[in-house]
Each structure stands twice: as C-alpha cells, then as structure tokens.
C-alpha cells in the first residue's frame, strides 16, 4: 500500500525494505530446523529412529537391578539390531536424549563449518576467472587463479577430503581405533608421522608431503609470475618511448575521467596491459609490492578465513543453547505447574506470553541480527576478497577552472 511505503519511521522502513530478506532468513531457519530435527529446542520425530533400545536390552540382559543402579545406559552400534541405519533426513532426534549429544553435534557442526567455508572460498576463486576473462587478462588464469586453487585445495581441500573419507570409510566396528584427522593434518606440515595414529589410506604420507610441496611451490608463482610477465611484456614499449612522450602521457592520464586507481584506463585493463597507441607508465617496484601484498593476503587468508568460518559453529551452538535455556527456564516450569486443568488455564497463558516475547526479542531479533551480521562478514571478507578488488575510481577533485572550461 502507498501509505506503508510512505511511512517516515526509519525503523519501520528498515524492516519494510528488508522484508524479502527476512522472509528468506525465516525459510532457511526452518530448513535448518528440519536438518537438526528441532523446534524450540525440542526434538521432532518425523521418521522412526535408527536406534533401537529394545534390541540392546534384549541382547545385553539388563535386569531390573541393573537398571536401578545405572541411570545412564550406553547403546552399542556393534550389537546386532541396535543401529538400523542413518536417519532419512537430518540428525536422528534420539540424540537429544543422549548425554553426549553436545559432543556429537559440536564435532558435526565444526566439520560442516570447515567444509562450507572451503567450498565457499573455492567458489570465490573460480568467480575470479570471469573477471580475468572479462578484462582480457588471461595470463592471470595461469599465474594467479590456478596457483590459488592449487594452494587452497591442496591444503584445506585435502582437509575436507580427510573428513569425508573418514565419515565414509570408518565404521562403528573400527571407530575405537580410528585415527585422528587433526594429528594427521599437523604431521602433514611437519613432514612426520605418529606411530599410534594409523594412516587412513595406503601411502598417505607420500600424498601429504607432495601436496605440501606443491602448495609451497605455488607461492613464488603467485608472487613473481604476474610482475615478471608484465615487465617482460611492457619493457620493449618503455625502451622505445621518448622522454617527452612519457611526460605527455602522464599529464594526459590525469585528465582521463574514467582512469582507475592503479593508473590504467579501462581500455588498458581490458587489454591486459599496454598497447601501441596508449601506453601507461609501469613502475616495477609498485607492481612487485602490489603482488606481494596480494600473495601474502591470500596465503594467510586461506588459514584465517577457514578458521573464521567456524563462527557458523559458534552461532549454531549459541542459538541452540539459548533455545534450550528459554524452554527449560520458562515453558518447562509452566508445563510442570499447569498439570491441573484449572491451573493450566491460569498459569500457562502468562508464561506462554513471556516465552513468546523472549523468543521474539532474543532468538529472532538479537540472534537473527547477529547471524545476519556474521553472514555479511563472511561474504564481504572471506568470500569476496577472492575475486573482488573494490579499488573504486581515481579521485577527481572539484575545481572552478574545470567548471568554467
């Protein structure tokens, strides 16, 4: 309605303009709720569980005296009939009853955060291919994109491979003696091995040493490849240029309305460098410094950005714990007091109102804003720095002389 759009309240305008974004966030939260099979921290059993307590009780011979002495019971998936298979969709809701459900979910969320982060960053590097093709800088495909992908996937892509390989190849029967991925990954950089940490597959040490050497070999290519190519390509033009022509070009470059920050016009950028008609000055020290900054930023960023994606794990853990606290400290108390029909009508109404208000204020507004800001950070920094420069345009100061002309 026009009246809704014309409202002058800034807070209302913020929500109104972001209504579709809020809708998408709500839909994705429902989707992740189905993944974890939780609603307000309560497990939702859509399909039958893949774990059977009856099979464990029948084959273990648990007596009444044993059950009276043991408040916590352990389900052994190696016992026939106890584990019937994975849950059809998402996390099995029976984990919400387990004492070690936090340990299980934390391990799962940590690994999924790393997997999503590596895939997201690799996709950002691939998007840089379209930039290089668009600007005609095809030499950067071999001198930048390929080394970046090799460095990223050779180290952290291999970590993702180890996680998925262990998920697929380690069964419940061999889980007790399963090797540690963390120790393998540390030994990979130290070129060593642990006698007590068995390899996941044959000749694993050779593969890991090869990947580390290959990743390290990409660093000098990233550092020197593009500068040497540009210097070799532009040096003949620079030698043929008279001194007067250089000064004219410098002055002319400052007058270009669409000159970019790095001193090249858009046509020169699309050509991947200088042409015979319009040549720009190439300073070797500036090119080397720019490429050194880019190389250091990318190599260190692969480590820090991968760790930064662990914020997904932290956000999920915080949200789950807040949901659990709200239910246990508000609704659970109300449901315990309102077992009588007459009392329930009096007690549950204000308690549910308080639960609804705190859910909206804490889980939806506070946690939703926090999740949005963290997602914004992951896209702007960890993702976009793989392909987006954002250097802007060359500053063109306002002068009255230029206006009069």
Give the whole-angstrom CA distance, residue 212 versus residue 187: 11
Which token pair is 405?
Answer: 């002309």
For residue 61, give the DSSP letter.
T
With cut-offs at 50, 70 and 90, classify the pLDDT of residue 119: very high
235/198: higher pLDDT: 198
Whether 148 has a pLDDT exceeding 90, the answer reads yes
User: Could you give the percent of the chain with pLDDT greater than 70?
Assistant: 85
Domain residue limits, the chain: 137-309
Q: Given this model, what pLDDT does residue 333 score?
A: 82
266/106: higher pLDDT: 106
Lowest mean pLDDT among 128-142, 238-252, 361-375: 238-252
Whether 113 has a pLDDT exceeding 90, the answer reads yes
Q: Write down the mean pLDDT value for the chain.
A: 81
Q: Given this model, what pLDDT does residue 109 score?
A: 92
**Mean pLDDT within 125-133:** 92
Q: Given this model, what pLDDT does residue 240 score?
A: 52
Give the whole-angstrom CA distance, residue 144 versus residue 125: 10
With cut-offs at 50, 70 and 90, classify the pLDDT of residue 214: very high
**Mean pLDDT within 88-111:** 88
Which token pair is 271?
Answer: 């050509």
Q: Given this model, what pLDDT does residue 343 score?
A: 73
Q: Given this model, what pLDDT does residue 332 score?
A: 84
For residue 180, give the DSSP letter.
P
Cα angle vertex 136, ends 285, 293, to 5°? 30
**Mean pLDDT within 283-310:** 90
Whether 204 has a pLDDT exceeding 80, the answer reads yes
Q: Given this model, what pLDDT does residue 264 score?
A: 39
Query: Which residues, in sequence order, are CB contacts of 272 under 8 Å at separation 6+?
Result: 135, 136, 137, 138, 139
With cut-offs at 50, 70 and 90, classify the pLDDT of residue 252: very low
Instruction: Provide φ and ψ at 51, rounded to 5°.
Output: -115, 140
Q: Given this model, what pLDDT does residue 265 score?
A: 41
Judged by DSSP in three states, 90 sits in coil
Which token pair is 17?
Answer: 């303009």
Which token pair is 228?
Answer: 């040497």
Which token pair is 28?
Answer: 């994705």
Query: Which residues, in sequence order, are CB contacts of 372 under 8 Å at separation 6+?
Result: 25
């Amino acid at each position: 309605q026009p009246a809704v759009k014309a409202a002058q309240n800034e807070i209302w305008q913020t929500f109104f303009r972001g209504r579709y974004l809020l809708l998408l966030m709500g839909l994705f939260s429902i989707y992740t709720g189905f993944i974890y099979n939780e609603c307000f921290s309560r497990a939702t059993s859509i399909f039958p569980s893949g774990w059977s307590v009856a099979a464990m009780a029948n084959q273990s011979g648990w007596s009444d005296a044993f059950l009276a002495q043991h408040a916590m019971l352990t389900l052994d998936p190696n016992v026939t009939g106890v584990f019937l298979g994975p849950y059809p969709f998402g996390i099995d809701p029976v984990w919400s009853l387990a004492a070690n459900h936090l340990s299980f979910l934390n391990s799962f969320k940590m690994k999924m955060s790393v997997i999503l982060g590596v895939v997201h960053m690799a996709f950002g590097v691939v998007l840089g291919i379209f930039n290089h093709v668009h600007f005609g800088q095809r030499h950067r495909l071999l001198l930048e994109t390929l080394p970046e992908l090799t460095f990223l996937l050779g180290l952290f892509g291999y970590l993702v491979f180890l996680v998925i390989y262990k998920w697929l190849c380690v069964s419940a029967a061999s889980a007790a003696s399963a090797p540690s991925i963390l120790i393998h990954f540390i030994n990979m950089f130290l070129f060593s091995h642990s006698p007590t940490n068995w390899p996941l597959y044959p000749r694993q040490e050779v593969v890991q040493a090869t990947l580390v050497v290959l990743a390290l070999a990409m660093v000098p290519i990233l550092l020197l490849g593009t500068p040497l190519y540009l210097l070799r390509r532009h040096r003949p033009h620079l030698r043929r240029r008279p001194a007067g022509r250089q000064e004219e070009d410098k002055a002319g470059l400052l007058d270009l309305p669409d000159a970019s920050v790095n001193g090249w016009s858009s046509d020169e950028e699309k050509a991947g460098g200088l042409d015979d008609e319009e040549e720009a000055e190439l300073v070797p020290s500036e090119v080397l410094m720019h490429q050194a900054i880019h190389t250091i930023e990318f190599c260190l960023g692969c480590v820090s950005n991968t760790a930064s994606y662990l914020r997904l794990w932290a956000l999920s853990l915080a949200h789950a714990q807040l949901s659990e606290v709200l239910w246990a400290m508000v609704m659970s108390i109300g449901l315990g007091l309102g077992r009588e029909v007459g009392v329930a009508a009096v007690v549950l109404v204000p308690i549910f109102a308080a639960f609804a208000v705190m859910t909206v204020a804490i889980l939806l507004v506070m946690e939703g804003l926090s999740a949005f800001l963290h997602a914004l950070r992951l896209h702007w920094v960890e993702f976009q720095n793989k392909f987006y420069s954002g250097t802007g345009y060359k500053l063109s100061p306002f002068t009255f002389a230029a206006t009069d002309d």
